[in-house]
Amino acid sequence: MTRWADSGAMALTGLPDHPMGPPAGLVEGIDRVARSFPGVDALELLGERAALMGLWRRGTTSCGGSCRLLQCGDGFMAVSLPRADDVETVPAWLELDVVPESVPAMWSAVASRLQHGDPDSLLKRAHLLGLPAALVGESVGQVGVVRSLLGKASPRPDLTGMVVVDLSALWAGPLCGDLLARAGATIVKVESTQRPDGARRGPAEFFDLLNGRKRSVALDFRSHDGVRILRGLLRHADVVIEASRPRALAQLGLDGPELIRTDGPQVWVSITGYGRAGEAANRVAFGDDAAAAGGLVMWRDGVPLFCADAIADPLTGLTAADACLRALSEGGRWFLDVSMSAVSSAFSGPTLPAPPELAAAPPRARPVETLASPFGADTARVLAEFEIDP
C-alpha cells in the first residue's frame, strides 16, 4: 500500500476528497510484468501524463475530464468524448430532438438518457457511430494477449541492433516502443503526414518521454510511393508495433500475419481496444473507457470510480512490451493481439482500503533524457540506411 501511495497513482484514484487504495493484485501484477525492464518504476509510469498536465482525481469523471462513469440500466457505462467529433455525434447517438447548447448540458443529457435507456441498444448504437463507450466489466475474464505462432525463427534474447517499426500513436503503443528502446532496440517511429501522432499536440515533455529514443519518419500514406516505402520499412523490421483498427491497415493493403509468414517481422504487436476478433475489432477505445470495460475501476457504495489516469494505456504498453520480449526469447514468428480492455481485466480486483493516515504523494514524471526528433526529421537518413528509394 505504501508503494501505491508513494507512486503518485493513489493521488489520481478515488473521490476528490478521498484517495483510495488500489485494486487487489494491481501493484503485484505491475511489478511482475516490469521485471523485464530493470530500472523502470512501472507504478510511476501511471502518473506521468497527469503530472505533466496537472491532472487530479475526480471520482466518476476521469482525470482528464473527457470520460464519465454513468448509471445505465442496472449497471454503469463509461462514455468518452475526447474529440470534437464525439461531442457532435452525441445528439445522433441519443436521438435528441433538441441539441444541448453547451458541453455540461450535453453530459446532462447523456446521463439522463443512459439512466432510463437500454444498455445493449445504447452500446450498439455508440459503436456504429464510432463513439468510445463501454459497459463496466464487459471484458472481465478475457485474455489480454492472444499469441499466434505463424512460423519458425531463432530465439533473440538480446535486442541490440534489432529494428522496431512503431506505427502507433498516443500512449500505449509508444510506451511499448520506448521500453523496447530501453532494452536495446532501434526504434523507427513512422507517422502519416496527414495525421501525425496526436500526442504531439499535448505536453512536449510527455511526447519526449515516450518518443525521445526513436527516429522520426513521415510518409504520405495516400500516395503509392508512401505505401511502397512503408512496405520496405516493414520488410526490414524485426518487430512492428501498431495500434490501428484492422480496417485501417487493410485500406493500405497491409496484412500483419501475411507479412510475418513471408519472412517479414519476427513479431507483430497489434494493440486495439477490444482485440481483433469479430465485431469488436473496430470499436473505438481510449484508456479510461477501456479500463472500465475490463472492470479496472474502484468501487465505493456501489458506484464505480476511476482508477488513476487512463490506466489501460500504460498497462497495455507495459504488457505488450513484455509479451514481445518473451516472444523474441522463445523464437518463432509471432502475431500478438493485445486488447486494452482485456489487459485491464487482468489487473482488476476488489478495492483495497487505504489506511486513513497514509498520505498520497502527487504524481511525478521522469526527467526527459532525450528530446524527440522533429516530425519526419530522420526520413531521408533512415531510407538511405535501409536502401529504400525515396
Cβ neighbors of 228 (< 8 A, separation 6 or more) are none
Give ∠ CA 14-18-20 in degrees, rounded to 5: 50
pLDDT value of residue 279:
86
pLDDT attached to residue 205: 97
- The pLDDT averaged over each successive group of 10 residues in the chain (390 residues) is 94 96 96 92 96 97 98 96 94 93 93 94 96 97 96 90 97 98 97 96 97 98 96 96 91 91 92 94 96 97 97 98 96 97 97 90 95 98 95
CATH 3.40.50.10540 fits 1-82+132-390, yes or no: yes
- How far apart (Å, rounded) are the C-alpha atoms in residues 11 and 5? 7
> With the C-alpha atoms ordered 227, 273, 181, 193, is the resulting torsion angle positive or negative?
positive
pLDDT attached to residue 22: 96
Note the pLDDT of residue 115.
Answer: 93
Q: Give the pLDDT score at 247.
A: 87
